[in-house]
């Protein structure tokens, strides 16, 4: 699936799960220093970077990602929002030695730590980039969004998620790490954990239906070699018919950790 579809999925995640993102950003805003320097690791399409820039007046955000397409999209969004003068973008592979980002006041890593080849090394680098008293924030997915719960297609979606979980495991992604323990082991203190259970019932707005189309389409694309032809055909039918349905919901769980250097 193209970068354009991934960017659209990330942007829709922020729009559809607005309350979750707002609560998380507001929590960080209450804890952050005045006029902080913020380092956004694996910034993606810019949801966190732009929300932090809005929430924290006088802040300066350095958004880091390995994808130039993501960073170009983020830069365009920042400029369009009038935030371009406070948001810098840096193309870097965070599995390699980091550029000199520090000292910063907040390190933000939303749905990015599980991609790191060596999370311990990444946490050590984050610790080194922070000022004494700085904040680390990690937000991760406990479960990927489900849209077909309680419908005749629930079992099909479950099989797709099980196959995607196997692919992520085989790829070495760190999906179910004990991040609180890892954060403490890296030298951070006062670790606070918050769990977010997201349950949006039908009927959903148009943006949520599009979110389901892009997300399930991405699942179908990723599982082209992993699911039986019958399931692939059924997924094609489901994705093609989502715009006509009124029984879709959005269910997902996420956890965030905030800690001090």
Instruction: Place 23 in a pLDDT band, splitting at 50, 70 and 90.
Output: very high
Q: Is the pLDDT of residue 102 over 70?
A: yes
Per DSSP, 147 falls in state -
Q: Is the pLDDT of residue 76 over 90?
A: yes
Q: Which residue in the block uniquely carries the two structure tokens 């099980």?
A: 162
Angle (CA) 116 122 124, round 5°: 160
Cα 28 to Cα 13: distance, rounded to the nearest angstrom:
19
Average pLDDT (181-189) is 97
How far are the Cα atoms of 15, 208, 240 from residue 11, in angstroms, in the given order?
6, 11, 21
pLDDT of residue 159: 98
Average pLDDT (197-214) is 96
At 145-181, the pLDDT tens digits run 999 999 999 999 999 999 999 999 999 999 989 999 9
Q: Is the pLDDT of residue 66 over 90?
A: yes
pLDDT of residue 2: 57
Q: Is the pLDDT of residue 1 over 70?
A: no
pLDDT of residue 104: 97
Instruction: Place 193 in a pLDDT band, splitting at 50, 70 and 90.
Output: very high
| Length of the chain measured in residues | 261
pLDDT of residue 4: 78
Task: Tell which residue, 192, 60, 49, has the closest CA to residue 108.
Answer: 49
Angle subtended by helix axes 68-80 and 47-55, to nearest 10? 30
Lowest-confidence range among 26-30, 84-88, 103-107?
26-30
Cα 9 to chain center, whole Å? 10
pLDDT of residue 34: 85
Q: Has this prediction a pTM greater than 0.75?
A: yes
Average pLDDT (48-70) is 95
Q: Are 100 and 160 in contact (CB under 8 A)?
A: no
Average pLDDT (11-30) is 94
pLDDT of residue 111: 95
- Parse the chain into domains and list their residue ranges: 3-260
Torsions phi, psi for 251 (to 5 deg): -130, 125
Name the H helices within the chain: 3-16, 18-31, 47-55, 68-80, 119-129, 154-170, 179-185, 206-222, 229-241
Average pLDDT, the chain: 95
- CATH: 3.40.50.2000, 3.50.50.60, 3.40.50.150, 2.40.10.480. Which one for 3-260? 3.40.50.150
DSSP 119-136: HHHHHHHHHHHEEEEEEE
Q: Is the pLDDT of residue 50 over 70?
A: yes
Task: Tell which residue, 81, 133, 86, has the closest CA to residue 107.
Answer: 133
Helix (H, G, I), strand (E, B), or coil: what is residue 206? Answer: helix
pLDDT of residue 214: 96
Q: Are 38 and 105 in contact (CB under 8 A)?
A: yes
Average pLDDT (197-223) is 95
pLDDT of residue 87: 97
DSSP 228-246: -HHHHHHHHHHHHHGGG-S
What is the maximal distance between C-alpha atoms in the chain?
56
Angle subtended by helix axes 154-170 and 229-241, to nearest 10? 120
């Amino acid at each position: 699936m193209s970068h354009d579809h991934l960017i659209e999925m990330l942007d829709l995640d922020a729009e559809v799960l607005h309350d979750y993102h707002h609560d998380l950003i507001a929590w960080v805003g209450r804890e952050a220093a005045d006029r902080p320097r913020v380092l956004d690791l694996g910034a993606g399409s810019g949801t966190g970077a732009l929300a932090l820039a809005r929430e924290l007046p006088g802040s300066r955000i350095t958004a880091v990602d390995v994808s130039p397409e993501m960073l170009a999209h983020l830069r365009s969004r920042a400029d369009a929002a009038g935030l371009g003068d406070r948001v810098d973008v840096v193309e870097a592979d965070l599995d390699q030695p980091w550029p000199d980002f520090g000292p910063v006041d907040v390190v933000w890593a939303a749905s990015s730590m599980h991609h790191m080849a060596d999370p311990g090394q990444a946490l050590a680098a984050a610790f080194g980039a922070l000022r004494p008293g700085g904040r680390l924030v990690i937000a991760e997915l406990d479960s990927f969004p489900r849209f077909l719960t309680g419908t005749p297609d629930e079992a099909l979606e479950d099989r797709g998620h099980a196959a995607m979980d196997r692919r992520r495991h085989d790829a070495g992604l760190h999906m179910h790490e004990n991040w609180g323990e890892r954060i403490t082991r890296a030298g951070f203190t006062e670790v606070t954990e918050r769990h977010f259970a997201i349950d949006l019932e039908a009927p959903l707005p148009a943006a949520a239906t599009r979110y389901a189309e892009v997300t399930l389409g991405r699942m179908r694309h990723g599982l082209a070699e992993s699911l039986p032809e019958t399931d692939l055909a059924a997924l094609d039918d489901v994705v093609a018919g989502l715009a006509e349905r009124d029984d879709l919901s959005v269910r997902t769980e996420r956890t965030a950790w905030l800690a001090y250097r």
